[in-house]
């Protein structure tokens, strides 16, 4: 008999916890079930069962599982193995992985905040229990409460199971900071209690309304909205729409319902875009594409991963579509990873046309309820599906993953920086695919140095597709030497005369323009002309960015903002100046130079709302806007055929970044943005402004010489012992007191050196050495590729535990970043 269960708690704890299985759960409890357990001082959590056994733990009193939440497991065995792998490899706890993997709606805990759904109507066939009703009423008066607060207010205990039912019925929402434009799954609608065309009943209804003026308004509004008087044109009317039109309170509607004139009912609405018709015809591949597809299948015969190096606009997507179709026909599932939501808008439509409702989309901007819905869809059916998703979709419950595509595999956004698990979705997906026996295709026009190295050394297959689909030539890249331009006084604001001329030409020919600047905001810095004072964030060690729109200085790390000082606080003169340039400043320059041309800006600031991307992209696609200014968001995936000029405003800012990947990243961004040009009929033109045109990397961008860039960079990596020749682990240490931190991090590095010797570098100040009042130091560990990560993990844990003998180390916040980007 199994009397005990090991569970994962959603906490950063490095082990499983054991609970006693109560008699009534005997035989019912299974791996992957959710249970509610108490932990610490009377806090309740939703935990996941990983194992059942009969070994009584020693040394502490074993508590009982409070409640079993599921009939069916909610996490599959492969997923639990996958979580375990992530925790091992990325040096974090399985609890951290669990927290990242499950949508918050599925892992309620004492700290979860809840709000009531004001549109919720009790279901007559499924009445609320007393406990449910009490919780709902309490929540209704309060706006937002945590589970703990709710329990305090109601005096009820162990409410998680009850709340779970309320969340699943959508009577209650789990609130998240990022939720935007949430759309409920059902909508309350209103109808009359009689049929269209029943004039007698209608007259009777007006009699019943009598002199109740507001009820009359409501009835008339209904007749209008529903087209009730026009036979055959009836339209369903939602309650909120009706109340808004009539401008009356819900009590008025309740009055008419009581009189038996109207009734309400629920209508299912889909949260997801309505599906377009499915065409069974797949796009016909060109000869080059067919060859590439054949080679991909060939290379995946004996290898599990293949790299498709296909230049921009070579038609990689169409190749993916053929592969997906093939896997779906085998009855298996596909994971199609993309780095960001920006890519998916155009792609989604393309995939929907071919795959219809077999396509599921998993955005980063989905609300929690939408995530829960997709989770259940995957969990409850083994149907062949293709999931198009961002990084976190590697956590979805696939039953039978047959293939993984990682598009734009070089993108750094596949790496999660914060919080733990700091995983790389590409590496994680490769491991996950291995667990299912699935093959992986990585695709990029500018592969990461690591992947290309793996391909050249035979670990991955390599397939090259070096011509564009239309056989269009790659765009013509020209450098503009900004030093020379300045000497000749041919620079206006941030624009060289050459770029202005090219833009004018494009506009005259009715073509479009993309301008790329890798910084957002108006100008990156404000500075004192006299004493070089720079305003810094009070919490973080970074200079503030000037945002022209609200005339404020903003910290891009913590969001702190303040007014721009009129007088320099250091030298007390009125010599504060705005220096450098960001996207907002570029936008303003363009407006000044081309006042009649409609333009749009795309960066983090303009795309906060859910539909903003779509609108910007639609306007540009339809030709409504002619110039698109943006950060690296515009470098990715966009496919517009009327873009003939791309301007790269400053290559210098990208090249001066203090990181061993700076040149690789700069090459990737510049080549990708260049690739947005000339995708239609005419050859594209790219103008690259730089003060260092003599740098080899500039020559490589001009020549579209990926291999040249690779060869130069790989030599450097080898010489200095960077990936792919070593594996990096950053060890971050944080503390409030900088002096204490300096001492402790020196000592910690010494402890590490005793075990790892020369492999330890630092401590150093990272580029941002203070965030939100915590000072940060970084120690770098370079381990051999062949070294076992679980051994490294054990050693690191021992060092940490030994350090705690000195109690000062207990105040340190310490965490790891494996394979940092
Ligand atoms: P990539 O992803 O390699 O940059 P895309 O897949 O976006 O390239 O293809 C570039 C353009 O060529 C798109 O407009 C696409 O519709 C078109 N295209 C590519 N392959 C085909 C094909 N086999 N049939 C028709 N159009 C194609
Ligand atoms: Zn800050
Ligand atoms: Zn000054």
Hey, which of 315, 346, 348 would you mutate to test ligand 1's pocket, going by the most ligand atoms within 8 Å of its Cβ?
315
Least confident of 282-291, 538-547, 748-757: 538-547
- Of the listed ligands, the closest to the CA of 338 is 1
Residue 183 scores a pLDDT above 60: no
User: Which atom of ligand 1 is least distant from the CA of 284?
Assistant: 23
Distance CA 377, CA 361 (A): 12
Mean pLDDT of the 95-110 span:
85
Q: Which of 99-103, 173-177, 722-726 has the lowest mean pLDDT?
A: 173-177
Closest ligand 1 atom to Cα of 289:
23
Give whichever of 58-72, 375-389, 602-616, 631-645 has the largest mean pLDDT.
375-389
**Rounded to whole angstroms, how far apart are CA atoms 291 and 314?**
13
Higher-confidence residue of 582 and 681: namely: 582
Residue 276 has pLDDT above 70, yes or no: no
- Ligand 1 centre from 313 Cα, in Å? 6
pLDDT greater than 60 at residue 524: no
Between 525 and 513, residue with greater pLDDT:
513
- pLDDT on residue 96: 94
The 144-146 sheet, strands edge to edge: 144-146, 113-116, 172-174
State yes or no: pLDDT of 368 exceeds 90. no
Q: Report how far residue 395's alpha carbon sits from residue 260's, in angstroms, rounded to the nearest whole number.
A: 50
The model's pTM is 0.79
- Burial of residue 770 (CB within 10 Å: 0-12, 13-18, 19+) is buried
Atom of ligand 1 nearest to the CA of 317: 6
Residue 536 Cα to ligand 2 midpoint, Å, equals 8
Q: Give mean pLDDT, residues 255-263.
A: 91
Assess contact for 266 and 186: CB atoms under 8 A. yes
**pLDDT at residue 729 greater than cutoff 70:** yes
**The pLDDT of residue 492 is above 90:** no
Average pLDDT in the 637-653 region? Answer: 84
Distance between Cα 458 and ligand 2 center (Å):
45
Average pLDDT over residues 486-496: 86
Q: Find the 561 Cα to ligand 2 centroid distance in Å.
A: 8
**What's the mean per-residue pLDDT of the chain?**
87
Which H/E stretch holds residue 188? strand 186-192
State yes or no: pLDDT of 98 exceeds 90: yes
Query: In this structure, which ligand is nearest to the CA of 621?
Result: 1
**Confidence band (pLDDT; 50, 70, 90) for 273?**
very low
For the chain, how many residues are written?
Answer: 821
pLDDT value for 637: 61
Q: What is the DSSP string of 561-618?
A: EEEPPSS-TTT-SS-EEEES--HHHHHHHHHHH-TTS-EEEESTTT--STTHHHHHHH
* pLDDT, average across residues 266-292: 71
Q: Best mutation site among 388, 469, 681 for ligand 1, i.e. most ligand atoms within 8 A of its Cβ?
A: 469
pLDDT at 270 over 60: no
Residues 459 and 59: their CA atoms lie apart, in Å, by: 48
> How far does the centroid of ligand 1 lie from the alpha carbon of residue 475, in Å?
16
Amino acid 292: pLDDT: 97
Summarize the confidence of residues 530-546 as an average pLDDT. 76
- Spacing, Cα 567 to ligand 3 middle (Å): 8
Looking up tokens 């209650």 gives 172
Tell me the mean pLDDT in the region 749-758: 94
- In the numeric block, which tokens belong to residue 604? 């983090």
271 pLDDT band (50/70/90 cuts)?
Answer: low
- Whether ligand 1 lies within 6 angstroms of the CB of 316 is answered as yes
Nearest CA to ligand 1 atom 25: 283
Give me the pLDDT at residue 454, please. 97
Chain segment 799-820, per-residue pLDDT in tens: 999 999 898 888 889 999 999 9
Cβ(18) – ligand 1 distance below 6 Å = no
Mean pLDDT of 757-764: 90
Q: How far is the CA of 525 from the centre of ligand 3 (A)?
A: 14
pLDDT at residue number 800 = 92
380 vs 607: which has the higher pLDDT: 380
Cβ of 314 closer than 6 Å to ligand 1, yes or no, is: yes
Ligand 1 lined by 387 (C-beta under 6 Å): no
Q: With beta carbons less than 8 A apart as the criterion, state whether 121 and 266 touch.
A: yes
pLDDT at residue 523, rounded to an integer: 54
Please name which of 384, 404, 408 lies closest in space to residue 316, comparing C-alpha atoms: 408
Question: What is the structure's pLDDT at 80?
Answer: 96
Atom 6 (ligand 1) nearest CA: 315
**Range of lowest pLDDT (184-188, 385-389, 566-570):** 184-188
Using a 6 Å cutoff on CB, does residue 312 contact ligand 1? yes
Whole-number Å distance, alpha carbon 286 to ligand 1 midpoint, is 10
Q: 388, 362 in Cβ contact below 8 A?
A: yes
Main-chain phi, psi angles of 197, to 5 degrees: 90, -10
pLDDT level of residue 580 (50, 70, 90 thresholds): low
Q: Summarize the confidence of residues 495-517 as an average pLDDT.
A: 93
- Ranges 55-64, 393-402, 520-529: which has the least confidence: 520-529
* Tens digits of residue pLDDT in 443-452: 999 999 999 9
Spell out the residues 6+ positions from residue 543 whose beta carbon is closer than 8 angstroms to its own.
Answer: 524, 525, 534, 535, 536, 537
Q: Considering only 101-105, 453-457, 622-626, which range has the smallest mean pLDDT?
A: 101-105
Question: Predicted confidence band at 552 (pLDDT cuts at 50, 70, 90)?
Answer: confident
Average pLDDT, integer, range 573-581: 77
What distance in angstroms lies between residue 766's CA and the mean position of ligand 2's atoms? Answer: 15
pLDDT band at 333 (very low <50, low <70, confident <90, very high): very high
Residue 689 — very low, low, confident or very high, per pLDDT cuts 50/70/90? very high
pLDDT for 185 equals 65
CA-nearest residue for atom 23, ligand 1, is 285
pLDDT average, residue stretch 765-790: 84
Q: Is 469 in the pocket of ligand 1 (CB under 6 A)?
A: yes
Mean pLDDT of 40-45: 80
**288 in ligand 1 pocket by Cβ < 6 Å?**
no
**Across 287-293, average pLDDT:** 96
Ligand 1, atom 20, lies closest to the CA of: 315
Beta strands in 382-537 (DSSP E): 386-389, 401-407, 439-444, 461-465, 476-481, 491-492, 495-496, 512-516, 525-528
CA distances (Å), 240 to each of 118, 143, 187, 227, 245, in order?
Answer: 11, 20, 9, 17, 9
Q: What is the pLDDT of residue 177?
A: 39
What is the model's pLDDT at position 327? Answer: 95
- CB neighbour burial string for 448-470, b if at least 16 within 10 angstroms, e if fewer: bbbbbbbbeeeebbbbbbebbbe
Q: Tell me how far the alpha carbon of residue 468 lies from the centroid of ligand 1, in angstroms.
A: 8
Measured from the CA of 311, which atom of ligand 1 is nearest?
3
Ligand 1 nearest atom to the CA of residue 407, by list position: 2
What integer is the mean pLDDT of 417-431? 95
Q: Which residue has the higher pLDDT, 379 or 583?
A: 379
pLDDT at 417 over 70: yes
Comparing 67 with 41, which gets the higher pLDDT? 67
Give the pLDDT mean for 285-293: 95
pLDDT surpasses 90 at 286:
yes
Residue 169, pLDDT > 60, answer yes
Proximal ligand: closest to the CA of 293: 1
pLDDT (tens digit per residue) in 185-229: 677 889 999 988 888 899 999 999 988 899 999 999 999 888 888
Q: Is the CB of 317 under 6 A from ligand 1?
A: yes
pLDDT cut 90: percent of the chain above it: 45
Mean pLDDT of 49-73: 90
Q: For residue 342, what pLDDT is reported? A: 57
Q: What angle do CA 184, 185, 190 make, to 5 degrees?
A: 85
528 half-sphere exposure, CB direction, 13 A CA radius: 17
Ligand 1 proximity of 315 Cβ (cutoff 6 Å): yes
- Residue 668: predicted pLDDT: 94
Residue 522 has pLDDT above 70, yes or no: no
């Amino acid at each position: 008999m199994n009397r005990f269960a090991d569970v994962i708690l959603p906490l950063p704890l490095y082990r499983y916890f054991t609970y006693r299985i109560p008699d009534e759960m005997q035989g019912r409890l299974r791996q992957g079930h959710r249970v509610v357990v108490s932990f610490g001082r009377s806090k309740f959590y939703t935990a996941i069962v990983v194992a059942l056994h009969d070994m009584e733990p020693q040394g502490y009193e074993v508590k009982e599982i409070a409640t079993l939440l599921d009939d069916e497991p909610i996490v599959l065995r492969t997923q639990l193995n996958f979580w375990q792998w992530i925790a091992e490899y990325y040096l974090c706890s399985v609890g951290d992985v669990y927290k990242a993997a499950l949508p918050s709606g599925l892992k309620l805990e004492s700290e979860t905040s809840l709000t009531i759904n004001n549109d919720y109507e009790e279901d007559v066939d499924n009445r609320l229990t007393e406990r449910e009703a009490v919780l709902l009423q309490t929540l209704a008066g309060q706006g937002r409460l945590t589970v703990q607060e709710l329990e305090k207010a109601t005096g009820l205990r162990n409410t998680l199971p009850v709340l779970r039912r309320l969340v699943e019925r959508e009577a209650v929402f789990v609130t998240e900071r990022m939720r935007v434009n949430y759309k409920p799954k059902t909508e309350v609608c209103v109808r009359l209690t009689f049929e269209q065309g029943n004039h007698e009943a209608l007259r009777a209804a007006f009699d019943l309304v009598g002199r109740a003026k507001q009820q009359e308004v409501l009835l008339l509004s209904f007749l209008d909205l529903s087209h009730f008087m026009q036979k055959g044109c009836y339209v369903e009317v939602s309650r909120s729409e009706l109340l808004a039109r009539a401008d009356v309170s819900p009590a008025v509607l309740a009055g008419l319902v009581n009189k038996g004139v109207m009734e309400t009912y629920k209508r299912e609405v889909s949260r997801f875009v309505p599906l377009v018709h499915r065409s069974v015809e797949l796009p016909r591949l060109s000869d080059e594409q067919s060859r590439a597809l054949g080679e991909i299948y060939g290379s995946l015969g004996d290898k599990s991963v293949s790299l498709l190096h296909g230049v921009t606009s070579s038609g990689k997507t169409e190749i993916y579509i053929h592969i997906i179709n093939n896997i779906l026909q085998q009855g298996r599932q596909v994971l199609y990873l993309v780095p960001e939501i920006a890519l998916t808008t155009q792609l989604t439509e393309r995939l929907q046309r071919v795959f219809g409702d077999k396509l599921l989309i998993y955005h980063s901007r989905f609300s929690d309820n939408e995530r829960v819905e997709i989770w259940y869809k995957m969990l409850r059916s083994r149907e062949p599906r293709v999931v198009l998703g961002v990084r976190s979709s590697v956590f979805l419950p696939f039953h039978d993953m047959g293939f993984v595509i990682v598009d734009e595999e070089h993108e750094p956004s596949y790496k999660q920086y914060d919080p733990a698990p700091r995983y790389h979705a590409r590496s994680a997906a490769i491991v996950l695919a291995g667990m299912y026996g699935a093959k992986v295709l990585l695709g990029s026009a500018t592969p990461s140095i690591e992947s290309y190295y793996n391909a050249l050394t035979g670990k991955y297959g390599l397939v090259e597709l070096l011509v564009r689909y239309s056989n269009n030539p790659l765009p013509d890249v020209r450098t503009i030497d900004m030093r020379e331009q300045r000497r000749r006084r041919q620079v206006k604001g941030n624009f060289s005369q050459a770029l202005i001329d090219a833009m004018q030409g494009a506009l005259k020919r009715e073509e479009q323009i993309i301008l790329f600047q890798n910084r957002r905001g108006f100008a990156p810095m404000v500075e004192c002309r006299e004493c070089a004072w720079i305003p810094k964030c009070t919490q973080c060690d970074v200079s503030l960015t000037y945002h022209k729109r609200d005339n404020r200085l903003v910290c891009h790390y913590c969001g702190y903002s303040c007014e721009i000082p009129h007088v320099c606080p250091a030298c007390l003169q009125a010599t504060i100046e705005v220096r450098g340039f960001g996207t907002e400043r570029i936008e303003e320059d363009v407006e000044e130079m081309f006042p009649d041309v409609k333009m749009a800006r795309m960066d983090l600031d303009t795309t906060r709302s859910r539909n903003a991307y779509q609108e910007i992209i639609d306007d540009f696609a339809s030709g409504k806007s002619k110039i698109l200014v943006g950060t690296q968001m515009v470098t990715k995936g966009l496919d517009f055929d009327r873009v003939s000029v791309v301007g790269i405003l400053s290559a210098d800012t990208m090249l001066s970044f203090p990181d061993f990947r700076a040149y690789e990243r700069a090459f990737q961004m510049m080549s990708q943005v260049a690739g947005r040009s000339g995708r239609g009929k005419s050859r594209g033109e790219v103008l690259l402004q730089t003060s260092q045109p003599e740098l080899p990397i500039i020559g490589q961008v001009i020549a579209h010489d990926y291999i040249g860039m690779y060869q130069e960079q790989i030599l450097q990596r080898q010489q200095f012992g960077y990936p792919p020749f070593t594996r990096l682990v950053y060890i971050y240490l944080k503390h409030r007191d900088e002096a204490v931190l300096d001492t402790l991090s020196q000592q910690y590095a010494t402890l590490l050196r005793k075990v790892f010797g020369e492999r330890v570098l630092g401590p150093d100040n990272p580029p941002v050495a203070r965030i939100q009042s915590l000072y940060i130091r970084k120690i770098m560990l370079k381990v051999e590729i062949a070294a076992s990560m679980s051994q490294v993990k054990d050693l690191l844990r021992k060092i940490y535990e030994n350090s705690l003998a000195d109690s000062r180390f207990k105040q340190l916040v310490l965490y790891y970043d494996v394979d940092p980007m």
